[in-house]
Amino acid sequence: MFHDVLVVLGLFSIFYNIVPFSMEIDQAFIAAILTVVGYSINDTVVVFDRIREYSVLHKKSSAVQVVDKALNSTLSRTINTSLSTFLVLLTIFIFGGESIKGFAFALMVGVVVGTYSSLFIATPLVVDLSKNKINA
C-alpha cells in the first residue's frame, strides 16, 4: 500500500506544473489517496483469500504451485474489475469539470498501480519472504 501511495504522490509531484488541470493537494486528493489505499487492500485481500482457499483444497501441491493457481484464477477477475473502474474514471476525467480532474487522475493512477502491486509485488513478496517454509 505504501508503494501505491508513493507512486501517486510521485506522479503528482512530477506533473505539478506540466498538466493543464489542478494538481493541488487538497481534500479531493486526500480522498483519492484513501480510496487508492482501500482499492489496493481489497484487491490484495481477494488474491490472498484465493491463495488461502487453494492451500486448503490443494494440500499435496507445493506452496509455489498453490500461489500460481490462485493468481491464475483471480487474474481475469482482477483485470476486468480494474479495467471497468479505469474506464469509468477516464470518462469522469474527460467529461468531468475542472475541479474533479485531479481527483480522477489520482484514482486512475491508483487503480493501475494498485492492481499491478497486488498481483506482481505483494504476492511474489509473500512467496519470497516465506521461502524457508516452502518446499518448491
**Cell, residue 1:** 500500500
- Nearest partner of 89 among 76, 101, 75, judged by Cα: 101
Alpha carbon 111 to its chain's center = 5
List pLDDT tens digits, range 52-91: 999 899 888 888 898 999 999 999 999 999 999 999 999 9
Whole-model pTM: value is 0.84
- pLDDT for 47 equals 92
Complete domains list, the chain, with CATH = 2-133 (1.20.1640.10)
> Is the predicted pLDDT of residue 136 greater than 50, yes or no?
no
Q: Decide if 50 contacts 74 (C-beta within 8 A).
A: yes
- Residue whose C-alpha cell is 519472504: 129
Per-residue pLDDT tens over the stretch 93-112: 999 888 898 899 999 999 99
Residues in CB range of 128: below 8 A, 6 or more apart: none
